[in-house]
Amino acid sequence: MFLFRSNRRVSVERHGKQQELSPARGKDANYVTSMYDFIELRSSLPTREARRALSRVEEEDWLATHRPPLELGISNRGEFQRKKAAQSGQVSAMPFRAIDNQVMKLKGDGVVRLAILNGFGTGLSDTLVGLTAFREVRKRIQTAGIGELDVEMWVRPSGYDSALAVTSMHGGVDRVKMLPMPIDAFLKLDGYWDLGGLVDRPTVNTRCTVDFFLELMGIDPTAVPRNEKRNRLSLSIPVVKEVGDALRDRTRRYVILHPIGGSLERNMPAEVFRELCTRLVRETDMDVASLVPLPNMHPRHVDLSELSSRGFEQYCALIKNAAGLVTVDASAYHVADAFSVPTVAIFSMVNPELRARYYPNVECIVLPGTGSASPGNQPRAGDVLSAWPRLDLNKVVELLVEQMPPV
């Protein structure tokens, strides 16, 4: 965790969200957050004077004079010092700590108040997979019978909308709030997980994402059945009706071709999309739908981007209704897993074993020559772009059709 104080009232806008920071009482810390959130917060302030109003409070000094709530899972204490050491090549071990050994130390007055600091990052995919891991964590704690749980997730402003969208369909978290967290609220907790600095954790590039989060929160991933590592999402009746009515006027049966990932390096070139669209129509005799705005690529290319853009739940409903999905590395295949939609996912920047290992309906293909099947090997953008023409498009279509039930 990262502690800081504000010596005066500060107003700041970040990612379209307005925040007001109150002045500290004396020289004590009055906020807790993650190191990266603090860096972004200070850099968002318009003047040097405003930035000087925020100052770091030494964590060890603060802990010596306060009684913080119980930190659960792998400890993230010393985040600032550990980051400085890593910059000079010193990687600190972060020992595993089992939640089963900690849970009986939690003491609430009828209600056990818990928080996840920094959430599971800022993206839809990480939030969904993180909540899948937390589903198992919450079940373990509830099994111990220590009382009713009340769980808050504190996230950076850039991830707030994503966190709200996913939690509304997943559950497990009672409220989502924006960092930084007032110190008074922090001290009222019974326990917390500190998930700050996720990108700096030693196992971030060696564990499947759901296993990574399970381990951070204190559960041995090998003790969790594979089917419990699959995503779950529920759709509301109004959205089911909204999407069903809209589809009735546009398409009878469709497969989705999703060409946009979280970065330019993951995106599918237009000419590959066009050729895949043609082959999918020929082999499935179905419309090919896109969930993002694209030029018309085929007479049976159906643009569902307006419906998809209404919200994350509509986006999920469109995937659930699809007969199949072909996608680049994006949130779409995580959603497809929740609804067991036959999927082919094309990877270029990461080993698919680190993302889709437990998804039985997701077949993975690595772009030829990108090296994403080798952990830690990040190809250059130019290498990825030149690899697309070598992708076996017939194999992509074949893998999808093999999974799809007969009409």
Position 124 scores a pLDDT of 94
Q: Which residue has the higher pLDDT, 80 or 402?
A: 402
Position 87 scores a pLDDT of 73
Position 378 scores a pLDDT of 67
**126-140, 151-165, 303-317, 376-390, range with the lowest pLDDT:** 376-390
> Cis peptide before 180, with omega less than 30 degrees from 0?
yes
Could you count the other beta carbons within 10 Å of the beta carbon of residue 234?
11
Ramachandran area for residue 26 (φ above 0: left; ψ -120 to 50: alpha; else beta): left
User: Is the predicted pLDDT of residue 44 greater than 80, yes or no?
Assistant: yes
User: Is the predicted pLDDT of residue 373 greater than 70, yes or no?
Assistant: no
The reply to whether 352 and 241 lie within a common domain is yes
Q: Name residue 272's amino acid.
A: V
Position 22 scores a pLDDT of 95
Among 229, 251, 273, the domain-final residue is: 229
Domain range for 279 is 237-403
CATH number of domain containing 295: 3.40.50.2000
**Average pLDDT estimate for 387-399:** 94
Among 195, 229, 263, the domain-final residue is: 229
pLDDT digits (tens, 9 = 90+) for 122-174: 899 999 999 999 999 999 999 888 889 999 999 999 999 999 999 999 999 99
**279-283, 346-350, 360-364, range with the lowest pLDDT:** 346-350
Position 383 scores a pLDDT of 76
The reply to whether 327 and 380 lie within a common domain is yes
Position 221 scores a pLDDT of 97
Q: What is the DSSP string of 151-163?
A: EEEEE-HHHHHHH
Asked whether 355 and 261 are in contact (CB, 8 A), the reply is: no
**Average pLDDT estimate for 14-24:** 95
Residues shown for the chain: 407
Q: pLDDT-based confidence at 352, cuts 50/70/90?
A: very high
Burial of 263 (0-12, 13-18, 19+ CB in 10 A): middle
The reply to whether 177 and 293 lie within a common domain is no
User: Is the predicted pLDDT of residue 381 greater than 70, yes or no?
Assistant: no
Alpha helices in 217-321 (DSSP H): 237-248, 270-284, 305-308, 312-321
Could you count the other beta carbons within 10 Å of the beta carbon of residue 79?
20
User: Is the predicted pLDDT of residue 88 greater than 90, yes or no?
Assistant: no
**Average pLDDT estimate for 291-313:** 94
Among 200, 229, 258, the domain-final residue is: 229
The reply to whether 263 and 281 lie within a common domain is yes
The C-alpha atoms of residue 216 and residue 196 are separated, in whole angstroms, by: 11
**Average pLDDT estimate for 42-53:** 93
The reply to whether 211 and 279 lie within a common domain is no
The reply to whether 222 and 245 lie within a common domain is no
Spatial strand order in the sheet of 54-57? 54-57, 2-6, 31-33, 181-182
The reply to whether 214 and 271 lie within a common domain is no
Instruction: Please state, for a pLDDT cut of 90, what percent of the chain lies above it.
Output: 79
Could you count the other beta carbons within 10 Å of the beta carbon of residue 237?
7
Position 199 scores a pLDDT of 87
Position 374 scores a pLDDT of 52
- Mean pLDDT over each residue of the chain, to the nearest integer: 92
Beta-bridge mates of residue 2? 33
User: Is the predicted pLDDT of residue 23 greater than 90, yes or no?
Assistant: yes
The reply to whether 199 and 342 lie within a common domain is no
Cβ-based neighbours of 375, under 8 Å, separated by 6 or more = 205, 206, 351, 354
The reply to whether 212 and 272 lie within a common domain is no
The reply to whether 265 and 214 lie within a common domain is no
- Three-state SS string across 11-42, please? EEEECCEEEEECCCCCCCCCEEECHHHHHHHH
The reply to whether 369 and 246 lie within a common domain is yes
The reply to whether 261 and 390 lie within a common domain is yes
User: Is the predicted pLDDT of residue 377 greater than 90, yes or no?
Assistant: no
Q: What's the total number of domains in the chain?
A: 2
